[in-house]
A and B are shown apart, each in its own frame.
Chain A
Protein backbone atom coordinates (compact mmCIF):
# COMPACT_ATOMS: atom_id res chain seq x y z
CA UNK A 1 0.00 0.00 0.00
CA UNK A 2 1.45 3.36 -1.01
CA UNK A 3 1.67 6.24 1.39
CA UNK A 4 -1.18 8.18 -0.18
CA UNK A 5 -3.53 5.23 -0.18
CA UNK A 6 -3.04 4.63 -3.89
CA UNK A 7 -2.46 1.06 -5.00
CA UNK A 8 0.68 0.84 -7.15
CA UNK A 9 0.39 -2.86 -7.85
CA UNK A 10 -2.89 -4.52 -8.69
CA UNK A 11 -3.29 -8.21 -9.58
CA UNK A 12 0.40 -8.56 -10.42
CA UNK A 13 0.56 -5.55 -12.72
CA UNK A 14 2.13 -2.16 -12.02
CA UNK A 15 0.48 1.23 -12.40
CA UNK A 16 1.70 1.50 -16.01
CA UNK A 17 0.68 -2.05 -16.92
CA UNK A 18 4.13 -3.60 -16.66
CA UNK A 19 4.81 -6.97 -15.03
CA UNK A 20 6.96 -6.93 -11.89
CA UNK A 21 10.12 -7.99 -13.74
CA UNK A 22 9.55 -6.01 -16.91
CA UNK A 23 11.73 -3.14 -18.14
CA UNK A 24 10.28 0.01 -19.61
CA UNK A 25 10.62 0.26 -23.42
CA UNK A 26 14.29 1.03 -24.02
CA UNK A 27 15.72 2.85 -27.00
CA UNK A 28 19.27 3.99 -27.67
CA UNK A 29 21.22 5.68 -30.42
CA UNK A 30 24.84 6.77 -30.78
CA UNK A 31 26.57 9.55 -32.71
CA UNK A 32 23.72 12.00 -32.14
CA UNK A 33 25.94 15.07 -31.64
CA UNK A 34 28.29 16.27 -34.34
CA UNK A 35 30.71 18.35 -32.26
CA UNK A 36 31.36 15.73 -29.59
CA UNK A 37 33.88 12.94 -30.15
CA UNK A 38 31.25 10.51 -28.99
CA UNK A 39 27.61 10.83 -27.99
CA UNK A 40 24.57 8.77 -27.10
CA UNK A 41 20.86 9.21 -26.46
CA UNK A 42 19.23 6.75 -24.09
CA UNK A 43 15.56 6.42 -23.21
CA UNK A 44 14.12 4.26 -20.42
CA UNK A 45 10.42 4.82 -20.95
CA UNK A 46 9.88 8.54 -20.40
CA UNK A 47 13.36 9.07 -18.93
CA UNK A 48 15.53 10.61 -21.60
CA UNK A 49 19.26 11.25 -21.22
CA UNK A 50 21.87 12.53 -23.62
CA UNK A 51 25.62 12.05 -23.06
CA UNK A 52 28.57 13.64 -24.84
CA UNK A 53 32.23 12.66 -24.55
CA UNK A 54 35.20 14.83 -25.46
CA UNK A 55 38.80 13.74 -25.45
CA UNK A 56 41.29 12.51 -24.57
CA UNK A 57 42.37 16.13 -24.75
CA UNK A 58 44.66 18.52 -22.95
CA UNK A 59 43.21 19.33 -19.53
CA UNK A 60 41.69 22.75 -19.03
CA UNK A 61 44.04 23.49 -16.15
CA UNK A 62 47.46 21.99 -15.63
CA UNK A 63 47.01 21.27 -11.94
CA UNK A 64 44.40 18.58 -12.53
CA UNK A 65 46.43 16.42 -14.90
CA UNK A 66 47.69 13.10 -13.63
CA UNK A 67 51.14 11.83 -14.65
CA UNK A 68 50.12 8.17 -14.91
CA UNK A 69 46.64 8.18 -16.40
CA UNK A 70 43.90 10.25 -17.99
CA UNK A 71 41.70 12.18 -15.61
CA UNK A 72 37.98 11.51 -16.15
CA UNK A 73 35.65 14.41 -15.55
CA UNK A 74 31.92 13.98 -15.45
CA UNK A 75 29.05 16.40 -15.21
CA UNK A 76 25.52 15.18 -14.60
CA UNK A 77 23.00 17.94 -15.18
CA UNK A 78 19.22 18.06 -15.34
CA UNK A 79 17.74 20.46 -17.85
CA UNK A 80 15.49 23.06 -16.25
CA UNK A 81 12.56 21.65 -18.25
CA UNK A 82 13.22 18.02 -17.33
CA UNK A 83 11.01 17.94 -14.22
CA UNK A 84 7.41 18.90 -13.33
CA UNK A 85 8.44 22.10 -11.58
CA UNK A 86 11.18 24.16 -13.19
CA UNK A 87 14.55 23.09 -11.93
CA UNK A 88 17.14 25.77 -11.33
CA UNK A 89 19.82 25.29 -13.97
CA UNK A 90 22.67 25.65 -11.48
CA UNK A 91 24.23 22.40 -10.30
CA UNK A 92 22.47 21.30 -7.12
CA UNK A 93 24.00 19.28 -4.29
CA UNK A 94 22.29 16.19 -5.71
CA UNK A 95 23.70 16.75 -9.20
CA UNK A 96 27.26 17.20 -7.90
CA UNK A 97 26.91 13.97 -5.98
CA UNK A 98 25.49 12.10 -8.98
CA UNK A 99 28.31 13.40 -11.17
CA UNK A 100 30.72 11.69 -8.80
CA UNK A 101 28.63 8.51 -8.62
CA UNK A 102 28.39 8.22 -12.41
CA UNK A 103 32.11 8.94 -12.80
CA UNK A 104 32.99 6.24 -10.31
CA UNK A 105 30.70 3.81 -12.10
CA UNK A 106 32.72 4.31 -15.31
CA UNK A 107 36.29 4.76 -14.04
CA UNK A 108 36.92 1.02 -13.46
CA UNK A 109 36.24 0.14 -17.12
CA UNK A 110 38.02 2.97 -18.97
CA UNK A 111 41.64 2.12 -19.85
CA UNK A 112 42.73 5.57 -18.72
CA UNK A 113 46.35 4.56 -18.08
CA UNK A 114 46.92 4.48 -21.86
CA UNK A 115 46.62 8.27 -22.06
CA UNK A 116 48.55 9.99 -19.26
CA UNK A 117 48.33 13.75 -18.81
CA UNK A 118 45.03 14.08 -20.68
CA UNK A 119 41.43 14.52 -19.67
CA UNK A 120 38.33 12.70 -20.83
CA UNK A 121 35.26 14.86 -20.32
CA UNK A 122 31.77 13.39 -20.04
CA UNK A 123 28.72 15.65 -20.11
CA UNK A 124 25.36 14.16 -19.24
CA UNK A 125 22.18 16.10 -19.76
CA UNK A 126 18.86 14.79 -18.48
CA UNK A 127 16.23 15.93 -20.97
CA UNK A 128 13.27 14.34 -19.25
CA UNK A 129 13.29 12.82 -15.78
CA UNK A 130 10.96 9.97 -14.87
CA UNK A 131 12.96 7.92 -12.40
CA UNK A 132 16.18 6.00 -12.96
CA UNK A 133 18.09 8.95 -14.37
CA UNK A 134 21.38 7.94 -12.77
CA UNK A 135 21.30 4.45 -14.23
CA UNK A 136 20.23 5.78 -17.64
CA UNK A 137 23.12 8.26 -17.36
CA UNK A 138 25.65 5.51 -16.72
CA UNK A 139 24.34 3.58 -19.72
CA UNK A 140 24.41 6.66 -21.96
CA UNK A 141 27.90 7.71 -20.84
CA UNK A 142 29.31 4.24 -21.44
CA UNK A 143 27.83 4.19 -24.97
CA UNK A 144 29.22 7.67 -25.66
CA UNK A 145 32.70 6.58 -24.50
CA UNK A 146 32.58 3.59 -26.85
CA UNK A 147 31.35 5.86 -29.65
CA UNK A 148 34.34 8.16 -29.04
CA UNK A 149 36.66 5.19 -29.57
CA UNK A 150 38.09 5.36 -26.06
CA UNK A 151 39.41 1.90 -25.10
CA UNK A 152 37.41 0.37 -22.27
CA UNK A 153 37.30 -3.05 -20.67
CA UNK A 154 33.55 -3.42 -21.02
CA UNK A 155 30.36 -1.46 -21.52
CA UNK A 156 28.48 -0.55 -18.36
CA UNK A 157 24.72 -0.88 -18.06
CA UNK A 158 22.57 0.24 -15.17
CA UNK A 159 19.07 -0.31 -13.89
CA UNK A 160 17.18 0.41 -10.66
CA UNK A 161 15.27 -2.20 -8.67
CA UNK A 162 12.71 -1.21 -6.07
CA UNK A 163 10.27 -2.50 -3.52
CA UNK A 164 6.74 -1.31 -4.09
CA UNK A 165 3.72 -2.42 -2.05
CA UNK A 166 5.85 -5.27 -0.72
CA UNK A 167 6.83 -6.54 -4.18
CA UNK A 168 10.26 -6.34 -5.78
CA UNK A 169 10.02 -4.57 -9.12
CA UNK A 170 12.49 -3.97 -11.94
CA UNK A 171 13.26 -0.53 -13.43
CA UNK A 172 11.33 1.77 -11.07
CA UNK A 173 9.89 4.98 -12.47
CA UNK A 174 9.34 8.25 -10.64
CA UNK A 175 5.96 7.34 -9.11
CA UNK A 176 7.20 3.99 -7.78
CA UNK A 177 10.35 5.66 -6.48
CA UNK A 178 8.33 8.31 -4.61
CA UNK A 179 5.76 5.98 -3.00
CA UNK A 180 7.74 2.74 -2.83
CA UNK A 181 9.55 1.34 0.18
CA UNK A 182 13.00 0.91 -1.36
CA UNK A 183 15.01 1.88 -4.45
CA UNK A 184 18.28 0.23 -5.41
CA UNK A 185 20.22 1.45 -8.47
CA UNK A 186 22.78 -1.06 -9.79
CA UNK A 187 25.32 -0.75 -12.60
CA UNK A 188 27.50 -3.56 -13.87
CA UNK A 189 30.11 -4.44 -16.44
CA UNK A 190 28.42 -7.71 -17.49
CA UNK A 191 31.28 -9.41 -19.37
CA UNK A 192 33.66 -8.80 -16.46
CA UNK A 193 30.95 -9.67 -13.93
CA UNK A 194 31.86 -6.60 -11.91
CA UNK A 195 29.56 -4.21 -10.07
CA UNK A 196 30.47 -0.55 -10.55
CA UNK A 197 27.51 1.11 -8.84
CA UNK A 198 25.33 -0.12 -6.00
CA UNK A 199 23.17 2.16 -3.88
CA UNK A 200 20.17 1.48 -1.71
CA UNK A 201 17.54 3.86 -0.45
CA UNK A 202 15.00 2.46 2.00
CA UNK A 203 14.87 -0.93 3.68
CA UNK A 204 15.33 -4.44 2.23
CA UNK A 205 15.87 -7.62 4.21
CA UNK A 206 19.03 -9.64 3.31
CA UNK A 207 16.84 -12.12 1.41
CA UNK A 208 15.09 -9.38 -0.48
CA UNK A 209 18.44 -7.81 -1.31
CA UNK A 210 19.67 -11.03 -2.92
CA UNK A 211 16.46 -11.36 -4.90
CA UNK A 212 16.53 -7.70 -5.91
CA UNK A 213 20.11 -8.05 -7.07
CA UNK A 214 19.27 -11.09 -9.20
CA UNK A 215 16.42 -9.07 -10.72
CA UNK A 216 18.81 -6.20 -11.48
CA UNK A 217 21.27 -8.58 -13.13
CA UNK A 218 18.52 -9.84 -15.40
CA UNK A 219 17.61 -6.29 -16.40
CA UNK A 220 21.24 -5.33 -16.95
CA UNK A 221 21.81 -8.30 -19.27
CA UNK A 222 18.88 -7.15 -21.40
CA UNK A 223 20.09 -3.53 -21.47
CA UNK A 224 23.64 -4.67 -22.26
CA UNK A 225 22.52 -6.54 -25.36
CA UNK A 226 20.61 -3.45 -26.56
CA UNK A 227 23.81 -1.41 -26.03
CA UNK A 228 25.85 -3.79 -28.15
CA UNK A 229 23.23 -3.88 -30.90
CA UNK A 230 23.14 -0.06 -30.94
CA UNK A 231 26.91 0.24 -31.38
CA UNK A 232 26.89 -2.31 -34.20
CA UNK A 233 23.83 -0.79 -35.86
CA UNK A 234 25.72 2.44 -36.59
CA UNK A 235 27.98 0.50 -38.96
CA UNK A 236 25.57 -2.15 -40.21
CA UNK A 237 23.18 0.60 -41.30
CA UNK A 238 25.72 2.19 -43.66
CA UNK A 239 24.54 1.36 -47.16
CA UNK A 240 26.84 1.21 -50.11
CA UNK A 241 25.94 3.99 -52.52
CA UNK A 242 26.05 3.36 -56.24
Chain B
Protein backbone atom coordinates (compact mmCIF):
# COMPACT_ATOMS: atom_id res chain seq x y z
CA UNK B 1 0.00 0.00 0.00
CA UNK B 2 1.22 3.47 -0.85
CA UNK B 3 2.17 5.54 2.18
CA UNK B 4 0.22 8.74 2.63
CA UNK B 5 0.05 11.32 5.39
CA UNK B 6 -3.20 13.17 6.00
CA UNK B 7 -2.03 15.84 8.45
CA UNK B 8 0.33 18.77 8.29
CA UNK B 9 3.34 19.16 10.54
CA UNK B 10 2.35 20.87 13.84
CA UNK B 11 -1.38 20.48 13.13
CA UNK B 12 -3.59 20.22 16.23
CA UNK B 13 -5.02 16.69 16.38
CA UNK B 14 -7.52 14.93 18.66
CA UNK B 15 -7.88 11.27 19.73
CA UNK B 16 -9.15 9.10 16.88
CA UNK B 17 -8.03 11.49 14.16
CA UNK B 18 -6.48 9.70 11.21
CA UNK B 19 -2.84 10.68 10.63
CA UNK B 20 -1.91 8.56 7.67
CA UNK B 21 -1.92 5.14 6.08
CA UNK B 22 0.48 2.70 4.48
CA UNK B 23 4.05 2.01 5.50
CA UNK B 24 5.00 4.65 8.05
CA UNK B 25 7.19 4.62 11.15
CA UNK B 26 5.80 5.79 14.48
CA UNK B 27 8.14 8.11 16.36
CA UNK B 28 6.00 8.39 19.54
CA UNK B 29 4.64 4.91 20.34
CA UNK B 30 2.41 5.91 23.25
CA UNK B 31 0.52 8.68 21.44
CA UNK B 32 -0.03 7.03 18.04
CA UNK B 33 -1.59 3.66 17.38
CA UNK B 34 -2.20 1.77 14.20
CA UNK B 35 -4.95 -0.59 13.15
CA UNK B 36 -5.52 -2.07 9.70
CA UNK B 37 -2.62 -0.16 8.12
CA UNK B 38 -4.00 3.19 9.29
CA UNK B 39 -2.48 5.45 11.90
CA UNK B 40 -4.55 7.38 14.44
CA UNK B 41 -3.69 9.89 17.12
CA UNK B 42 -4.38 8.72 20.69
CA UNK B 43 -4.15 12.11 22.40
CA UNK B 44 -4.76 15.82 21.97
CA UNK B 45 -1.49 17.09 20.58
CA UNK B 46 0.51 18.48 17.71
CA UNK B 47 1.27 16.24 14.75
CA UNK B 48 4.97 15.71 14.17
CA UNK B 49 5.62 14.75 10.57
CA UNK B 50 9.14 14.10 9.32
CA UNK B 51 9.31 12.29 5.99
CA UNK B 52 7.90 8.80 6.56
CA UNK B 53 8.01 9.22 10.33
CA UNK B 54 4.86 10.22 12.13
CA UNK B 55 4.21 11.12 15.74
CA UNK B 56 2.08 13.24 18.04
CA UNK B 57 3.54 15.56 20.68
CA UNK B 58 0.98 15.52 23.51
CA UNK B 59 -0.27 18.84 24.88
CA UNK B 60 -1.77 17.25 27.97
CA UNK B 61 -0.23 14.47 29.96
CA UNK B 62 1.38 13.04 33.02
CA UNK B 63 4.84 11.81 33.89
CA UNK B 64 5.66 8.16 33.34
CA UNK B 65 9.09 7.17 34.74
CA UNK B 66 11.90 6.12 32.38
CA UNK B 67 15.32 4.80 33.43
CA UNK B 68 17.90 7.60 33.41
CA UNK B 69 15.42 10.48 33.78
CA UNK B 70 16.33 13.34 36.07
CA UNK B 71 13.50 13.90 38.53
CA UNK B 72 12.74 16.16 41.47
CA UNK B 73 10.93 14.31 44.23
CA UNK B 74 9.30 15.11 47.54
CA UNK B 75 9.71 12.72 50.48
CA UNK B 76 6.31 11.37 51.48
CA UNK B 77 7.23 8.67 53.96
CA UNK B 78 10.28 7.53 55.93
CA UNK B 79 10.88 3.80 56.36
CA UNK B 80 13.56 1.85 58.20
CA UNK B 81 15.99 1.59 55.33
CA UNK B 82 14.38 3.54 52.51
CA UNK B 83 12.33 6.65 51.74
CA UNK B 84 9.18 6.81 49.70
CA UNK B 85 9.35 9.65 47.18
CA UNK B 86 6.56 11.35 45.26
CA UNK B 87 7.74 11.99 41.69
CA UNK B 88 4.33 12.99 40.24
CA UNK B 89 4.10 9.59 38.49
CA UNK B 90 1.42 6.91 38.72
CA UNK B 91 3.70 5.01 41.11
CA UNK B 92 5.72 6.31 44.07
CA UNK B 93 9.49 5.84 43.93
CA UNK B 94 11.87 4.35 46.48
CA UNK B 95 15.24 5.76 47.51
CA UNK B 96 17.40 3.37 49.52
CA UNK B 97 19.35 4.68 52.50
CA UNK B 98 22.55 2.92 51.41
CA UNK B 99 22.39 4.82 48.11
CA UNK B 100 21.82 8.18 49.78
CA UNK B 101 24.43 7.74 52.54
CA UNK B 102 26.90 5.87 50.34
CA UNK B 103 27.55 3.42 53.19
CA UNK B 104 25.61 0.66 54.92
CA UNK B 105 23.05 1.89 57.39
CA UNK B 106 22.81 0.78 60.98
CA UNK B 107 19.08 0.98 61.74
CA UNK B 108 19.67 0.37 65.44
CA UNK B 109 21.79 3.50 65.81
CA UNK B 110 20.46 6.05 63.38
CA UNK B 111 17.07 7.14 62.16
CA UNK B 112 16.49 7.98 58.52
CA UNK B 113 14.49 11.08 59.37
CA UNK B 114 17.76 12.68 60.55
CA UNK B 115 18.86 12.79 56.92
CA UNK B 116 15.67 13.31 54.96
CA UNK B 117 12.29 14.00 56.48
CA UNK B 118 8.78 14.22 55.08
CA UNK B 119 8.46 17.22 52.77
CA UNK B 120 12.14 17.41 51.88
CA UNK B 121 12.96 17.85 48.21
CA UNK B 122 15.58 15.82 46.36
CA UNK B 123 17.07 15.85 42.90
CA UNK B 124 17.57 12.27 41.74
CA UNK B 125 17.89 9.98 38.77
CA UNK B 126 15.54 7.10 37.97
CA UNK B 127 17.71 4.02 38.43
CA UNK B 128 15.26 1.26 37.72
CA UNK B 129 11.69 0.86 36.60
CA UNK B 130 11.16 -2.71 37.67
CA UNK B 131 8.93 -5.40 36.28
CA UNK B 132 6.58 -4.96 39.19
CA UNK B 133 6.87 -1.21 38.48
CA UNK B 134 8.82 -0.55 41.66
CA UNK B 135 10.66 2.59 40.69
CA UNK B 136 13.97 3.15 42.43
CA UNK B 137 15.96 6.38 42.49
CA UNK B 138 19.62 7.15 42.93
CA UNK B 139 21.32 10.33 44.11
CA UNK B 140 24.87 9.33 43.18
CA UNK B 141 26.64 11.95 41.12
CA UNK B 142 27.20 15.69 41.01
CA UNK B 143 24.17 17.92 41.44
CA UNK B 144 22.01 15.21 42.97
CA UNK B 145 20.78 14.93 46.53
CA UNK B 146 18.87 17.05 48.99
CA UNK B 147 17.76 20.54 47.99
CA UNK B 148 18.15 23.11 50.73
CA UNK B 149 17.19 26.37 49.00
CA UNK B 150 15.63 27.79 45.86
CA UNK B 151 12.16 27.91 44.33
CA UNK B 152 10.30 24.90 43.04
CA UNK B 153 8.02 25.44 40.04
CA UNK B 154 5.55 22.75 38.98
CA UNK B 155 4.27 22.56 35.41
CA UNK B 156 2.63 19.94 33.22
CA UNK B 157 5.33 17.37 32.40
CA UNK B 158 4.18 17.32 28.77
CA UNK B 159 5.58 20.85 28.46
CA UNK B 160 9.06 20.10 29.81
CA UNK B 161 10.60 19.67 26.31
CA UNK B 162 9.48 23.25 25.53
CA UNK B 163 11.26 24.60 28.63
CA UNK B 164 14.47 22.90 27.50
CA UNK B 165 13.99 23.87 23.85
CA UNK B 166 15.83 22.64 20.75
CA UNK B 167 19.28 21.48 21.89
CA UNK B 168 18.69 23.24 25.20
CA UNK B 169 18.28 26.67 23.60
CA UNK B 170 15.35 27.79 25.77
CA UNK B 171 17.01 26.72 29.01
CA UNK B 172 20.22 28.47 27.93
CA UNK B 173 18.22 31.65 27.27
CA UNK B 174 16.58 31.52 30.70
CA UNK B 175 19.89 30.96 32.48
CA UNK B 176 21.79 33.63 30.53
CA UNK B 177 19.11 36.25 31.02
CA UNK B 178 18.61 35.61 34.73
CA UNK B 179 21.99 34.29 35.91
CA UNK B 180 20.05 31.73 37.97
CA UNK B 181 20.82 28.02 38.19
CA UNK B 182 17.89 26.12 36.73
CA UNK B 183 17.39 22.38 37.12
CA UNK B 184 14.70 21.03 34.82
CA UNK B 185 13.39 17.61 35.81
CA UNK B 186 11.51 15.33 33.42
CA UNK B 187 8.62 14.93 35.87
CA UNK B 188 7.47 18.54 35.51
CA UNK B 189 9.29 20.14 38.43
CA UNK B 190 11.79 22.91 37.92
CA UNK B 191 14.21 24.15 40.55
CA UNK B 192 15.36 27.77 40.33
CA UNK B 193 18.39 28.31 42.52
CA UNK B 194 21.25 30.71 43.36
CA UNK B 195 19.68 33.77 41.78
CA UNK B 196 21.52 37.09 42.03
CA UNK B 197 18.36 38.77 43.37
CA UNK B 198 14.66 38.26 44.05
CA UNK B 199 13.56 40.04 40.87
CA UNK B 200 15.42 37.75 38.49
CA UNK B 201 14.02 34.71 40.29
CA UNK B 202 10.50 36.06 39.83
CA UNK B 203 11.11 36.83 36.16
CA UNK B 204 12.31 33.28 35.50
CA UNK B 205 9.26 31.79 37.23
CA UNK B 206 6.93 34.05 35.23
CA UNK B 207 8.72 33.08 32.02
CA UNK B 208 8.35 29.36 32.82
CA UNK B 209 4.63 29.80 33.44
CA UNK B 210 4.34 31.64 30.14
CA UNK B 211 6.11 28.78 28.34
CA UNK B 212 3.66 26.30 29.86
CA UNK B 213 0.66 28.33 28.70
CA UNK B 214 1.85 29.12 25.18
CA UNK B 215 3.86 25.96 24.47
CA UNK B 216 1.85 25.07 21.36
CA UNK B 217 2.13 28.44 19.60
CA UNK B 218 5.11 28.79 17.21
CA UNK B 219 7.82 31.39 17.81
CA UNK B 220 8.08 30.63 21.52
CA UNK B 221 11.78 31.37 22.06
CA UNK B 222 11.56 34.87 20.55
CA UNK B 223 8.44 35.68 22.56
CA UNK B 224 10.06 34.55 25.81
CA UNK B 225 13.15 36.61 25.04
CA UNK B 226 11.04 39.73 24.48
CA UNK B 227 9.04 38.97 27.61
CA UNK B 228 12.14 38.71 29.81
CA UNK B 229 13.63 41.94 28.44
CA UNK B 230 10.35 43.82 28.92
CA UNK B 231 9.95 42.48 32.43
CA UNK B 232 13.54 43.42 33.29
CA UNK B 233 13.04 46.97 32.00
CA UNK B 234 9.81 47.27 33.98
CA UNK B 235 11.62 46.23 37.14
CA UNK B 236 14.57 48.54 36.42
CA UNK B 237 17.04 45.69 36.41
CA UNK B 238 19.31 47.14 33.75
CA UNK B 239 20.57 50.04 35.85
CA UNK B 240 22.78 48.04 38.21
A111 CA to B15 CA in the complex, in Å? 11
- The secondary structure that dominates the A interface is loop
- Tell me, yes or no, whether A63 is within 8 Å of chain B by CB: no
A55 neighbours in B (Cβ, 8 Å)? 90
B61-80 interface (Cβ within 8 A of A) = 61-62, 64
- Tell me, yes or no, whether A236 is within 8 Å of chain B by CB: yes
A116 neighbours in B (Cβ, 8 Å)? 133
A147 CA to B61 CA in the complex, in Å? 8
A170 CA to B102 CA in the complex, in Å? 69
Query: In the complex, are the beta carbons of A148 and B60 less than 8 A apart?
Result: yes
Q: For the side of the interface on B, what is the size category?
A: 20 to 34
- Tell me, yes or no, whether A2 is within 8 Å of chain B by CB: no
A58 CA to B33 CA in the complex, in Å? 25
Q: Mark A169-204, 1 if CB is under 8 A from B, else 0.
A: 000000000000000000001111000000000000
Q: Mark A139-150, 1 if CB is under 8 A from B, else 0.
A: 000000011111
Point out the residue from B16, B61, B213 that lies within 8 Å of A155, measured CB to CB: B16
Query: In the complex, are the beta carbons of A114 and B30 less than 8 A apart?
Result: yes
B209-224 interface (Cβ within 8 A of A) = 210, 213-214, 216-217, 223
Query: In the complex, are the beta carbons of A38 and B60 less than 8 A apart?
Result: yes
B14, B15, B133, B216: residue with the most chain A Cβ atoms closer than 10 Å: B15
B210 neighbours in A (Cβ, 8 Å)? 241
A232 neighbours in B (Cβ, 8 Å)? 12, 14, 44
A235 neighbours in B (Cβ, 8 Å)? 12, 44, 59, 216
- Tell me, yes or no, whether B195 is within 8 Å of chain A by CB: no
A148 CA to B216 CA in the complex, in Å? 17
Query: In the complex, are the beta carbons of A57 and B40 less than 8 A apart?
Result: no
A150, A151, A189, A240: residue with the most chain B Cβ atoms closer than 10 Å: A151
Chain B interface residues (CB < 8 Å from chain A): 12, 14-18, 30-31, 33, 35, 40, 42-44, 58-62, 64, 90-92, 132-133, 158, 210, 213-214, 216-217, 223
4 cross-chain pairs, A with B, having the tightest CB-CB distances, nearest first: A154-B16, A149-B60, A149-B61, A151-B42
User: Can you name 10 A-B pairs with beta carbons within 8 Å?
Assistant: A109-B16, A117-B132, A147-B60, A148-B60, A149-B62, A151-B42, A152-B42, A152-B43, A228-B17, A235-B44
